[in-house]
Structure 1
């Protein structure tokens, strides 16, 4: 597996969790469970992606701006998660914040998949793409393991 497939698999999980959450209402066990899973996915993904995708690409002039942009978007996503954490789940504001998070995450994933992956595909060789995928998946497993 190459790094792009590994990242896309997690992107699909994130999209699905956001879609499911957007259809929930109130402070329910299901909403809390899906939200915790989404938070875990997003936070783990950002750590693993920055270490095993962005970091190697920061060394390449052609990818510096895209890498910095991706890291900045991770920070914006973290801030939206903080807003959600500070808002009561059964308030109308929670769903508004979730919609903002959904828009930001979907924009970020589209940027990566439609632009960044193409640039990275030219800058990394096949061996690097496979090694980065292995390292990324290992990091994700470690990040998502119960503490």
Structure 2
């Protein structure tokens, strides 16, 4: 991955996390049954943000840069898997499929706007 690609990825991740936290996590956070999963998701966002900052400070192409990129990818994969296998199905059961569809629609619209803004 070249530095321009990484810079764009970092911007898109920031936009994605912002959207996810505002549109998805905030309304679901008040449900005690989802509180722990939401806190874990927020912590995972923080971890990836820290890794992104480390990558930005590292010299591109070095072993350190590649190692940090690998760790970031692994954290993102785990975060996505946890959301898809645990949080999203649990949230849909708790809030109902109509509300889940509404939130998914708001999320998609906000995500498109933020990603377009960073391009």
Instruction: Using structure 1 for the length normalisation, give the TM-score.
Output: 0.74
Q: What are the within-5 Å matches in structure 2 for residues 1-147 of structure 1?
A: 21=1, 31-146=2-117
d(CA) in 1 for partners of 2:63 and 2:55?
A: 11
Q: Give the gaps of 5 or more residues in structure 1.
A: 1-20, 22-30
1:24-80 deviations in Å (ceiling 9; x for gaps): xxxxxxx12321232122111101111111111111110000001100110000000
Superposition RMSD in Å = 1.4
Q: Secondary structure at the match of 1:102?
A: helix
1:98-136 deviations in Å (ceiling 9; x for gaps): 011011111111111111112111112232122212211
Give every structure 1 segment of 4 or more consecutive aligned residues whose post-TM-superposition deviation is greater than 6 Å. Answer: none
User: Larger deviation: 75-84 or 88-97?
Assistant: 88-97
Determine which structure has the larger helix proportion and give its number. Answer: 2
Cα shift at 1:137: 1.7
Question: How many residues end up aligned between the 2 structures?
Answer: 118
Q: Secondary structure at the match of 1:143?
A: helix
Q: Secondary structure at the match of 1:34?
A: helix
User: Larger deviation: 97-106 or 134-143?
Assistant: 134-143
d(CA) in 1 for partners of 2:41 and 2:65?
A: 25
Cα pair 2:15 2:111 within 8 Å, conserved:
yes
Instruction: Using structure 2 for the length normalisation, give the TM-score.
Output: 0.90
